[in-house]
Amino acid sequence: MKEDSILFELLEEKGVSARGCPLPPLRNAHEKIRAILAELSEAAAAYETSNPEAEAVVQSLVTLAETYPHHLWIENFLLFPMTNKLLNADEHALLAERFNRAEAACSPASYAEMVSAVERLESVAVTLRQTSATHTTVHELQGPQ
């Protein structure tokens, strides 16, 4: 992630410890999120090709949903306020420039892979909603048992 290689390095140059909060927990969370997203992408691809139970897709989404709130809290209430206090206007401009260069360096193939993964997930989501609606309707029609 851009934060790891650009923002965190800049903060370390400003004296933020590479071993103290909030950088190590955020680095660990980024690794975990990358792993979850890879699992989710694989599960969506498997679901799309063999149409098995949606358990792997759902489990990946649940894990992601459990991980993100804490991660975002650390970023919003620790990392970003600290960054705003430590960096001056020129350093903020440098950070933005570095982020823009990093985005521009992403290969078109990477972008195409991301678009493809999102499209697969959207397709799976539609199928899961339809399946869920069908199950709900069947249970409503059957009534209490």
- With cut-offs at 50, 70 and 90, classify the pLDDT of residue 139: very low
Q: How far is the C-alpha of 136 from the C-alpha of 69, rounded, in Å? A: 29
Contact 83, 11 (CB under 8 A): yes
- 15-44 confidence digits (pLDDT tens): 998 888 889 989 998 998 888 888 887 877
pTM of the model as a whole: 0.63
Domain ranges of the chain: 2-142
Per the structure block, which two tokens stand in for 53?
């139970």
Per the structure block, which two tokens stand in for 115?
């678009």
Contact 38, 49 (CB under 8 A): no
Single-letter code of the amino acid located at 91: E
